[in-house]
Structure 1
């Protein structure tokens, strides 16, 4: 086996994972051996290599029993450049979720799907099924280029959106691992039929480009050691920040001439959100503008940036291994100069861009060629059937009957497109029968713009709840906003169960980051369009204290905001010192009513249990509508109604 190491940049010892990659025979071992063993799980060494194949070994913590083996299961993640899911692949995933998984699919924040609950004995069959149905999991995890993102909107009359899709796919192909390990292990060496690569991509992969290529190896771009850590790429168009471009290692912005012809790309690099609590050397960072390249040079530029990170990224400390740290340590000018060495010529100056805005593309839209597309909101990305809400059934029926392609969105939602106008009534009828909302104006705005990671019980990194907790927390935030006179207010809320930032909380106006069981670090001040980092306001807030924590901040916002100012922009403008000063002097405008349990006096002096009263959706909506029409808070309305009720009994 030919080994190809990056040039030595430090005298420090490489991390353990570097050795595992070196000895894996290009991602084959020990996965190839252990998949044949009759065991419930892989060894830790194999788990690190398994990630490159698109799977994480997990333990369902809800099912832990003392003295018993962990409840091992596997998460599979698909790689879908630009979020594309062909109808054949969707139906295969839907069936796999029931046959091998936990009966749900989960749309990710990188425009792929995840399946949870797969047993080791079924892993090979699941991956083989995905590949044979026009999908892949290769490179969805691991120290490698991850899924390449692009705006999901299928605007056929806007050339820049079509170019974004095209180049997202081409760059995904360019940076795809070339090892035969994936097909050897999961399909017994059978190379599945896939779309033909662009000739330009094939040529670019083999072009040396001043050291970008490592010769005489299975992996000409990655070599034996692959990347120091994960590498995230997106392609977007001017003004469209549906893909959170500032959070990516590398973002390309499509630039066209007045006739819609592609000219080239602006380049951003060095974004990333993962960090570690109490480790100040780890931090979230926005991508920097690097420059501009013509369309004929884009693949060489991408390879040059990848090679720079491959050869100079930190391979000794995995917490310091992302591209953002290399650019932060070097500075943009030194980084650009090194990229230009690989590129072979100067990178042109960055071209002016319009302000970036966030879009979610929900609801019915014209796609520009006479056909329609439909964006469907999926709460926290979880596709499931639950009670009368039959989302999984509805999506399956629509794909079966109309053979529609899907684009997953970076906000964990889904778009059907290529819908002929005559099919709209039938599709709408399926959605109505399954209680799936298609009109985004009827979705609670806090819910519409929120995101959460899966966290407990399956994610091994989770410190506390996220996906299971956020619905209740959003409901409590809405009730609090109603109480303080902000009935129609909404903003971007994101939550993660740990500081790795999978749901991108550091770009939110209000971010909750798991810091301890039932507790969160709170971040404030991101922008509604995700173009500015939030900042940490408190290190640990217990779930029970969310209302008392947020109330004075919301009141300050109501009293001191500028006309039309968003919550995130307000927090950024007044600053944390101003917020803390107001909070310190805050006196509640009304006495809050809490229901407390009767406890022994010794206990009640130190703590009283507080209870919240839940309402069915129909009653909650009636209370909310009445309070809004009367210009009152829901709390006051319910209090008056209860007082009147009890007076009628006396």
Structure 2
């Protein structure tokens, strides 16, 4: 089966035509960057994404649009060398808005760069061992892996595999370096197995003699996301990716191969039921020496068959949903040249934050730090730089918008802890549990897709949830995974949260319920268009009944799924507020056994105790008598 360049179709999206005529993502961006205008035209807007940038403007400023560009780095495994971190810190002050944003895909976002400074900023990143190539656009994005710098065979193997996959799927035609460093290349030496896998065309995966052997002129139909992890560590939301790769080791801990999941993805469009978030399906197992060939076969299957007419349906999850996993596997196997082996059994997934102090296993320590919504600014930014620079530390970004300081000598632990705490970078036991697992996308004022607040709104939302917890009697150490996005695209993965808030109008959210703390269950839509000022009307009854009706150690997400949305809706509709604890007077009730048994049976049907039902009957009787007197 020899692939050909995508044929001209009767209908193709505007972006497909722009890509076709761009000379491998160069034209007209190269010309637009030279104009005096503060922005670039629509074709260049689409192309600059492949270079790792989005054109934006401040939507809250009146008058003419104040254009700027957001740059996103590409850091496989979230790895950030010391030099690159210090460069990004400098660039944020010199050319950005004075802050760095840690993302849900283990990268930096740098906001506020004006067009005339783009080349300076891009070249600075490249010269500091960094890159933005492919951080956005219709190609493979940043490859995730657990951020913990553990000296364990499976973790090291997962991280090396993530880096190899990232290298395999990096564009080869040179457009990025032509644009930003005048053609000078700064790519590190690639592993021979990566080069071999990329060039292999024994099963018709490549475009012969093309500068882009895997991508061709059209690249992929849409963004493509991959994560690699080890069994049990779901710090990367493994099931939300186009491809999820899990290291499988033998009884001695030696990596032998990989389980592969396919078809995850978060994005959707409001009130279009044909668009939806989706969890990845098990595809099969491959031995470790075949992983790059299997990944390439999956990517090519999407390249050749993913929809290019309507970008709302272009992600691979829609191809798999349309075909079914069996047909998808059959087609991938033609490009892979082998049959997938049986999926290996895995232990239960667990969300691991990797926060706090831990042994790396090589004599050094690492320290994971919680950063609210990934926004590094102010005193926190100054202090992080001070510590990272003074101790010459490398860092890693987590998929939960946090940061890990690596390679710390044990003697440095106390002074580093003290310095960080003075800037509000606290150990996890001192951070509100609600904040530890919460995430939000940037949304307003710069994201062009935002419908309502997310990053700026979540601090108040979390405080209000905490107040509701206290009101209904939930303990401080009890928590719920809360994620907020300003639109339905799902950048903060709200559809995996126990409580997801998805912007669906000005100051309005769609509420999703039913995700799991370990991010293995897809949430569902519970309510639409809940005004931000009315959130307590939903939170109070839900958390009140969770407190009183949950089973032992039952999470909020599991509780909402067990009870069912119909009952949850009934509780919300009938909610009249948390009852103030009444002054209690001793009223003992005695009955014969037959009456008690019947009362107890009726009470259980209503999820009440016999005493609670008896008191309701007494109150109703007294009220009826009082009403009778009034008449």
In structure 2, what is the equivalent of residue 534 of structure 1?
523
In structure 1, what is the equivalent of residue 610 of structure 2?
none
In structure 2, what is the equivalent of residue 151 of structure 1?
146
In structure 1, what is the equivalent of residue 218 of structure 2?
225
The partner residue of 2:475 within 459, 464, 487 is: 487
TM superposition score normalised by structure 2: 0.90
How far apart are the structure 1 equivalents of 2:205 and 2:525? 39
How far apart are the structure 1 equivalents of 2:321 and 2:424? 48
In structure 1, what is the equivalent of residue 102 of structure 2?
107
Shift of 1:326: 0.3
How far apart are the structure 1 equivalents of 2:577 and 2:51? 54
Whether the aligned pair in 2 keeps the contact of 1:357 and 1:529 (CA below 8 Å) is yes
Whether the aligned pair in 1 keeps the contact of 2:504 and 2:528 (CA below 8 Å) is yes
How far apart are the structure 2 equivalents of 1:209 and 1:416? 43
How far apart are the structure 2 equivalents of 1:130 and 1:241? 30
Aligned to 1:121, what secondary structure does the other structure show? Answer: helix
Whether the aligned pair in 2 keeps the contact of 1:451 and 1:495 (CA below 8 Å) is yes
Shift of 1:213: 0.9
| CA RMSD, Structure 1 to Structure 2 (Å) | 1.3
In structure 1, what is the equivalent of residue 121 of structure 2?
126
Shift of 1:152: 0.5
The answer as to 2:89 corresponding to 1:94 is yes
Shift of 1:450: 0.2
In structure 2, what is the equivalent of residue 39 of structure 1?
37
Shift of 1:591: 6.2
Whether the aligned pair in 2 keeps the contact of 1:27 and 1:179 (CA below 8 Å) is no
The partner residue of 1:245 within 238, 241, 245 is: 238
How far apart are the structure 2 equivalents of 1:459 and 1:316? 25
The partner residue of 1:284 within 277, 282, 289 is: 277
The partner residue of 1:179 within 159, 170, 173 is: 173
How far apart are the structure 1 equivalents of 2:576 and 2:312? 43
Shift of 1:363: 0.7
Aligned to 2:50, what secondary structure does the other structure show? Answer: helix
Whether the aligned pair in 1 keeps the contact of 2:537 and 2:572 (CA below 8 Å) is no
Matches within 5 A, 1:123-522: 123-156=118-151, 158-192=152-186, 194-385=187-378, 390-437=379-426, 439-488=427-476, 489-522=478-511
Whether the aligned pair in 2 keeps the contact of 1:106 and 1:381 (CA below 8 Å) is yes
The answer as to 2:567 corresponding to 1:578 is yes
Structure 1 209/394 Cα, relative in aligned 2: closer, same or farther at 3 Å? farther
Structure 1 425/44 Cα, relative in aligned 2: closer, same or farther at 3 Å? same
Aligned to 1:455, what secondary structure does the other structure show? Answer: coil
The answer as to 2:53 corresponding to 1:60 is no
Whether the aligned pair in 2 keeps the contact of 1:273 and 1:283 (CA below 8 Å) is yes
How far apart are the structure 1 equivalents of 2:422 and 2:492? 31
Aligned residues: 578
Aligned to 1:195, what secondary structure does the other structure show? Answer: coil
Aligned to 1:63, what secondary structure does the other structure show? Answer: coil
Shift of 1:47: 0.3
Structure 1 residue runs of 5 or longer lacking an equivalent are 593-650
How far apart are the structure 2 equivalents of 1:284 and 1:411? 19
TM superposition score normalised by structure 1: 0.88
Shift of 1:433: 3.3
Shift of 1:528: 0.5
Whether the aligned pair in 1 keeps the contact of 2:438 and 2:483 (CA below 8 Å) is yes
Whether the aligned pair in 1 keeps the contact of 2:471 and 2:578 (CA below 8 Å) is no
Whether the aligned pair in 1 keeps the contact of 2:168 and 2:197 (CA below 8 Å) is yes
Shift of 1:7: 5.5
> Rg larger in 1 or in 2?
2
Shift of 1:359: 0.7
Relative to structure 2, which stretch is displaced further, 397-406 or 285-294? 397-406
The partner residue of 2:535 within 539, 546, 552 is: 546
How far apart are the structure 2 equivalents of 1:503 and 1:336? 29
In structure 2, what is the equivalent of residue 523 of structure 1?
512
How far apart are the structure 2 equivalents of 1:464 and 1:584? 25
Shift of 1:587: 3.6
How far apart are the structure 1 equivalents of 2:578 and 2:91? 54
In structure 1, what is the equivalent of residue 609 of structure 2?
none
Structure 2 residue runs of 5 or longer lacking an equivalent are 582-631
In structure 1, what is the equivalent of residue 590 of structure 2?
none
In structure 2, what is the equivalent of residue 642 of structure 1?
none
Shift of 1:429: 3.0
How far apart are the structure 1 equivalents of 2:546 and 2:428? 26
Q: Which 4+ runs in 1 deviate beyond 6 A? A: none
Whether the aligned pair in 2 keeps the contact of 1:455 and 1:462 (CA below 8 Å) is yes
How far apart are the structure 1 equivalents of 2:505 and 2:571? 27
Shift of 1:4: 5.9
The answer as to 2:48 corresponding to 1:50 is yes
Shift of 1:273: 0.5
Structure 1 559/47 Cα, relative in aligned 2: closer, same or farther at 3 Å? same
The answer as to 2:548 corresponding to 1:559 is yes
In structure 2, what is the equivalent of residue 14 of structure 1?
12
Whether the aligned pair in 1 keeps the contact of 2:453 and 2:486 (CA below 8 Å) is yes
Whether the aligned pair in 2 keeps the contact of 1:64 and 1:71 (CA below 8 Å) is no
Aligned to 2:49, what secondary structure does the other structure show? Answer: helix
Shift of 1:492: 0.3
Shift of 1:170: 0.4
